[in-house]
Amino acid sequence: MTFQGKGLCMFPTIRPGDVLALQMQDLAQIQCGMVIVFRREKALWAHRVVGICHQSGGAYLRTQSDRSPGPDAQKVYAADLLGVVTEIRRGDQTLSPEKRPWQPRHRLQFRFHCLAERLQLLFWNLAERILENIQKIFFYQSLGKCLLSIGLLQISFELRLPVENGHHPSLFQRFPESAFPSFPAEILERAKKKGILWLRINGTPAVSYFFSEAVPLDQRIFVRRRFRHLDLESRLLEKARRYFWGRSTYWHSERLV
């Protein structure tokens, strides 16, 4: 299992773009000094373990980023632990996750990364505004639908289900469209409660539908910005009606279109 590092909180040990190799371990096997990946507020984080604590409700970990002067305020419990970083892959190099001392050249590299992140953010904000205006043009919408109709943009579907039986909630099983007709009743029921149906364009995730009732109806469809105004939502909903919905939920789908 791998995880791509982002941000600068673990610099210089982990840098933006580094690929972290993970090994799943129980909380009881964790030791201070290890770098772990864990879930917090619907995101994945990689921080170093600085404490192992015990209380009546069970054990938990205290973590800290290498650039922080003190430990994180939040605790890491077993249910949030994804794995331990065993190695860091940076280009052709394979590095250990041991903490590295700051050197003069690291300060210059750190400032360069900060500047690159700011420029990237400014660029994407500008690009998003331009793209949003272009997508409203009739020619853009017509061209996109034409490319879809003649097959230059290939559409595929995928169902994702959270892995059960004690596994981390961020781990998913993936099922291609070819498996939909042969789903047993158990998989269908899980899909209707916790599944996420994805529409892909040339293999890239474009539109998703969340079956979970915990998600409000008007928030169950998510369209990635560059795929908006192409009427992909209706294709995704039609696939959901065909394989997963009964008549009782048809009215809900109409509200979402």
Interval 205-245: pLDDT, tens: 999 999 887 778 778 899 988 888 888 999 999 998 888 87
pTM: 0.53
Give 171 or 109, the one with higher predicted confidence: 109
Q: What is the mean pLDDT of residues 69-90?
A: 90
Res. 114 pLDDT band, cuts 50 70 90: confident
pLDDT at 139 over 90: no
pLDDT at position 185 over 50: yes
State the pLDDT at residue 165. Answer: 58
Residue-wise over 210-237: b if at least 16 C-beta within 10 A, else e? bbeeeeeeeebbebeeebbbbebbebbb
Q: What percent of the chain has pLDDT over 90?
A: 24
Tokens of 154: 């290939």
- Looking at residues 46-65, what average pLDDT do you find? 90
Is residue 107 within 8 A of residue 95, CB to CB? The reply is no
168 band by pLDDT with thresholds 50, 70 and 90: low
Q: Inform me whether the pLDDT recorded for 30 exceeds 70.
A: yes
pLDDT exceeds 80 at position 197: yes
pLDDT at res. 107: 77
Radius of gyration of the chain from its Cα atoms, rounded to whole angstroms: 22
Across 81-110, average pLDDT: 87
Identify which of 40, 60, 20, 73 has the alpha carbon closest to the alpha carbon of residue 168: 40
